[in-house]
Structure 1
Amino acid sequence: MEKAGINESILEAIMYRFLLTAGESEGRKIADQVKVPFRLVEPILTRMKMEQNIAYKNATATNDYVYILTETGRQIARNHASDCTYFGACPVRLEDYIKSVRYQTIEGQYPKKADLVRAFSDLLINPKMLNRLGPAIASGRGMFLFGFPGNGKTSIAERVTGAFGKYIWIPRSVDIDGDVLRVFDPMNHVLAMPEENTGLLDIGGFDKRWVRIERPTIIAGGELTMEMLEVLCNSDTNISESPLQLKSNCGTLVIDDFGRQKMRVDELLNRWIIPLEKRYDFLNMASGKKIQVPFDQLVIFSTNLEPKDLVDDAFLRRIPYKIEVENPPEQDFRKLFEIMCRITKVPYNADAIDYLIKTHYLPVGRPFRNCQPRDLLLQVRNFCLYNDLEVELKNEYFDFACDNYFSVM
């Protein structure tokens, strides 16, 4: 138990709570529930049986027993449930989680140009932009992506993690002196478990208290509040939920549309000014205990505003890279139409694109935006489908699309 980093008293409490909820269970199902090998669970079940806190309901064909709680065992289980209702995977030690983050950190990986080309393979990225992004991503620290809306800041930010290793291992939950802190979040983490061996934690197997996930990319937009950056404890269950920055460790945390959050910008800056520099954070548990955890992710602030208009010099210094996502040149704009025509299944027509640019862009000094080819093509496609016309690019179709799209721009 000690070698595996398992707290036996916590494991036993989880087993009691599970039996209280399930009513009855085979020993191996209990082991599977707590994600601990049966050979480690079985001695605890034997002791609980000797203490007359559980009993055999019947034997199984697999040389196992179906266990039920006795009356005294049920009272013990209720006492454990009053402290906390958690009956999932046995938590791992905080120190083991911290070691895992250090081992899988993005800092020091230094992805190369080929890694970035692969990560952005489905985007049209100007070589100049790629050369600016490369060192910023390789630093593993933080960056501002700023510029006009519609030029792909969020699309770029979402793909940055792909330049690093594909998978990491995280614990399902962490033990904080008896408090349970959930780390794995199926809403934000993409499970990518390897093939299992036939045995339970056989040689070459893995500790099932841990899960393999795709290296995380977590995005928080205008809904971001200070509460999302702190440990949230459910007062009914006494189970704590990790904040966004901890869930994004070893990956990327994108603060999208920075400057338009529900929380004030200065609140966020004050909360993160030290973690961004020191790469560790302090979290307060519901019990009052304060813990130090890694702050190990690439933080990307994506904004339509100028960074200097949002934050002070002290904060700007801690975000070493400020990259403007500029309007595409005409050559790239035309290329985007070729790409998006394939995606939207609208036949490409170079003459119609020439007409669009010479009629609706150049005479009025309208800037190109990366989002516009897709948006205009969808307008044309929907116009054709509604009017039962062949889907194609014609000058008059672009006139209609532009009248709609640019009417208030």
Structure 2
Amino acid sequence: MSVKLPSDSVATPTPAIIADERERLDELLNRIHRLTAEGEGSSGIVVTPSARPAPPARTASKPADEGWHPAEPTSFRDAGLSNSEVENLILKFLGARAESSGREISDQIKLPFRLIDPLMQQLKDDQLVAHKGAAMMNDYIYQLAGRGRELAKKLTDHCTYYGAAPVLLSDYVESVKAQTIADQHPTEADLARAFSDLLIDKRMLLRLGPAINSGKGLFLYGAPGNGKTSIAERVTAAFGLHVWIPRALSVDGEIIRLFDPSMHEEAPLGASSGLIDDCKIDHRWIRIKRPTIVVGGELTMDSLEVTLNTVTNISEAPVQLKSNCGTLVIDDFGRQRMTTDELLNRWIVPLEKRYDYLNLASGKKIQVPFDQLVIFSTNLEPRDLVDDAFLRRIPYKIEVTDPDETAFRKLLEIMGRSLKVTYDAAAVDHLIQKHYRATGRPFRCCQPRDLLLQIVNYCHYTKQAPVMSPETFDFATENYFAVM
């Protein structure tokens, strides 16, 4: 005899209960994985948790030598987000993509699937999204319903951003404190490694070392062609290798894009060696090489402020914010489209206080870290560009001098090997005697490379092996020094 229970006697699990059960399942599978790995090593069996996405970008683990890292959030509140903010990103993404699985949505906005899954169910219950079909691993293909489509259009008209969920400004400030260059103290060995591909005098390294350790900025000045920019670009390599930065920041609902592929070089984590993805990193952040950002004559005052794209309503971070925890090189200082006084007045306080103030489109003013080594590289005399008050705030002024004859010959030998041009000491004697001593022309560090490139191109044209000779050097110098 069968007994039929009344329908109200069966409790329907809520999204919160479902999420809790899936989290427990994740933990159980992690324990099984650890026991299996310790007892048998790799068995070739792949165990995939039902509540965790498995795209290639997620199969990563924190390296043993990694310092600070952003921990994976356990809830939207832990991530500094509201349900509405996440819903808005999802609806705009579905409006652009038409349809997507829950795990694809999770990977797009960089939040754990176990947080996204119950929210998607709530959106379905609210008739904002609908199931189009089933997907792998207890997932569904979602598309916008009628109400959801209308709301997505309104949200997109206000702001088109639907990338990684933004990080709170306060969390970013704490991350800069944890990864600050002020805690980095490069040694002689660190500088030797950073400048290993340059022929640089030990006395120059001895002067650079304390300046880099100060983290306060320096002037590199001297004649053009002696490698000031090359030196400045390698300074960052003396610091720690990697830092974590948010892909985007949120300030009172305003989105500020921080990660810039044209200025930042991503440093992905290595593949996990475990049976399952045991990475507990917040994927709203991205691991990059310590930034080295070089700006030259194109620098304007707008580049130093948050800029709002009035079409997309997405703001872009200024260069000093993008260079935090790294190096910012002002190349050809004194030749910018703004006056040196404008630039120096803008930065005179940040250089001393280590923080800056930025104005948002909403009118709000925010305080942000100013945590980078600022290098002013110029062909001009610093005292002719700035006053004493600013020079005091840049305590290190290092002149990059011309190479002597021994260093010039060494550079020709090194560049010859690099460009596969046969070295000839007699031809180099001819070059120095005829084109330098006789004319009183100074040596420059860039000239060996430039002259040998002239020889390479000449020999390719005449179908002969590139070689240093009096004839090829005469040809190269005639072109190179024609108006110099």
Preserved CA contact (<8 Å) 2:272 2:278:
no
Q: What residue number does 1:111 align with? A: 186
Q: Deviations over 1:327-361 (max 9, x none)?
A: 01111111111101001110111111112112221
Q: Percent identity?
A: 61
Stretch moving more, 41-50 or 54-63: 54-63
Give the Cα–Cα distance (whole angstroms) in 1 for the partners of residues 126 and 229 of structure 2: 59
Q: Give the secondary-structure state (helix, strand or coil) at the position aligned to 1:145.
A: strand
Paired AA for residue 249 in structure 2: V
TM-score, normalising length: structure 1: 0.97
Give the deviation of 1:196 after TM superposition.
4.9
Q: What is the rounded CA distance, in whole Å, between the counterparts of 1:156 and 1:109 in structure 2?
A: 18
> AA paired with 1:326?
T
Match of 2:107 in 1: 32
**Which deviates more, 2-11 or 208-217?**
2-11
**How far apart, in 2, do the equivalents of 1:202 and 1:289 lie?**
41
Question: Is 2:225–2:444's contact at 8 Å kept on the other side of the alignment?
Answer: yes
What residue number does 2:122 align with?
47
Superposed CA RMSD in Å reads 1.5
Q: Deviations over 1:23-47 (max 9, x none)?
A: 1111111111110001111121121
Specify which of 210, 217, 238 is matched with residue 285 of structure 2.
Answer: 210
Structure 2 counterpart of 1:345, one-letter code: K
1:287 aligns with 362
Name the aligned partner's letter for residue 140 of structure 1. Answer: G
Query: Within 2, Cα distance between the matches of 1:46 and 1:389?
Result: 72
The 2-side partners of 1:340 and 1:202 are apart by 47
Given the alignment, which residue of 269, 289, 296 partners 1:221? Answer: 296
1:65 match? 140
Give the aligned partner of residue 383 of structure 2.
Answer: 308
2: distance between equivalents of 1:73 and 1:389? 70
Which whole-Å CA distance do the structure 2 matches of 1:181 and 1:397 have between them?
54
What's 1:147 paired with?
A: 222
Letter in 2 for 1:189: H
The code of the aligned residue for 1:175 comes to S
Q: Which moved more, 1:155-164 or 1:80-89?
A: 80-89
**Contact kept in structure 2, 1:172 and 1:183, CA below 8 Å:** yes
Tell me which of 393, 398, 401 is aligned to 1:326. 401
2:437 is aligned to: 362
Unaligned 5+ runs, structure 2 = 1-75
SS of the aligned residue for 2:142 comes to strand
Q: Which amino acid aligns with 1:253?
A: L
Say yes or no: does 1:169 pair with 2:268. no
Q: How does 1:9-408 map to 2 (within 5 A)?
A: 9-197=84-272, 203-408=278-483
- Return closer, same or farther for 1:399/1:60 CA change in 2, 3 Å cut-off: closer
Secondary structure of 1:213 counterpart: strand
Aligned residue type for 1:208: H
The question of whether the paired residues in 2 share the 8 Å contact of 1:106 and 1:140 is answered with: yes
What is the alpha-carbon distance in structure 2 between the residues aligned to residue 92 and residue 68 of structure 1? 27
Summarize the Cα distance change of 1:12–1:197 in structure 2 as closer, same or farther, 3 Å threshold. Answer: farther
Separation in structure 1 between the aligned mates of residue 454 and residue 262 of structure 2, nearest angstrom: 33
Residue of structure 1 equivalent to 2:49 = none
Instruction: Tell me the SS of whatever aligns to 1:174.
Output: strand
* Paired residues of 1:143 and 1:321 also in contact (CA < 8 A): yes
Indicate conservation of the 8 Å contact 2:92/2:156, yes or no: yes
Quote the Cα distance in structure 2 between the aligned partners of 1:400 and 1:328: 23
User: Residue 262 of structure 1: CA displacement?
Assistant: 1.1
SS in 1 for 2:397: strand
CA offsets 1:103-159 (integer angstroms, 9 cap, x no match): 111113110010000000000001111111111111111011000000000000111
Amino acid at match of 1:399: D
| AA matched with 2:91 | Y
Give the whole-Å Cα distance in 2 for the aligned partners of 1:175 and 1:198.
Answer: 34
Does structure 2 conserve the Cα–Cα contact (< 8 Å) formed by 1:108 and 1:139?
no
Could you tell me which residue of structure 1 aligns to residue 45 of structure 2? none
| 1:107 counterpart SS class | helix
What secondary structure sits across from 2:244 in the alignment? strand
Structure whose CA Rg is larger: 2
**Aligned partners of 1:287, 1:134: CA distance in 2, in Å?**
43
Does the 8 Å CA contact 1:108/1:140 hold for their aligned counterparts?
Answer: no
Q: Once the 2 structures are TM-superposed, how far is the Cα of residue 63 of structure 1 from its aligned partner?
A: 1.3
Shift of 1:77: 1.6
Paired residues, number? 408
Residues in 2 aligned to 1:68 and 1:385: alpha-carbon distance in whole angstroms: 60
* CA deviation vs aligned residue, 1:360-386 (integer Å, no higher than 9, x gap): 212222111001111111222222222
Question: Tell me, which stretches of 5 or more residues in structure 1 are unaligned?
Answer: none
CA contact (8 A) 1:196 1:205 kept: no
Counterpart of 1:44, as a letter, is L
CA apart distance, 1:202: 5.9
Counterpart of 2:347 in structure 1: which amino acid?
Answer: W
